[in-house]
Amino acid sequence: MSLLQEARLRLVEVGGRGSAFSELVSLARVADYFVSEPDRAEAERLAERLRQDAPWRSVTVMFEAIGATCGTATLYVTRRPGMSSLLEPDPSVASRFCKREHFDVARTVTVPVLTLEEAARRYGFSDAGFLKIDTQGTELDVLTSGASMLLCAG
């Protein structure tokens, strides 16, 4: 365990509504957890919950969205908040799924946006060992905004 503690594991989740990614909780004692959640009320709730649910070495909640460029964007908060996105839901696509109403927009809010590289610089996770992205359609934007951080094998 001491080797893991010395490794300074940094785990990053982009789109962190709800709770920590369950598969990572077993690493809580030896890991710093960074999560991006641009819905302010959910981010504040998440900050409290993460600290209560597991003994993370540290928890950092980023109140910014992660996207293609720095600035601001519209967050489309849907009836089922876990389906919220910086992209407006397309009814023709959503209608293909059961529970289409989950994709109905309940409200919009303007949120700050950082690129993955800027967030890493600002919050100190440029050497993250794990990245989980769940952003309802902007995953490629997130990845390309942090391209210099990604290692390519092979």
First-to-final CA distance of the chain? 30
Q: Is pLDDT of 128 > 50?
A: yes
User: What is the pLDDT averaged over residues 138-147?
Assistant: 94
User: What is the pLDDT averaged over residues 53-68?
Assistant: 94
Question: Residues 130, 32: contact at Cβ < 8 Å?
Answer: no
What pLDDT is stored for residue 75 in this prediction? 97
Q: How far apart, in whole angstroms, are the C-alpha atoms of residue 89 and residue 99?
A: 13
Q: How far apart, in whole angstroms, are the C-alpha atoms of residue 14 and residue 113?
A: 12
Question: Residues 34, 10: contact at Cβ < 8 Å?
Answer: yes
Question: What value does the mean pLDDT of the chain take?
Answer: 89
Sheet holding 9-14, edge to edge: 58-62, 31-36, 9-14, 130-133
pTM score above 0.85: yes
Q: Is pLDDT of 153 > 60?
A: no
The domain ranges of the chain are: 2-68+113-149
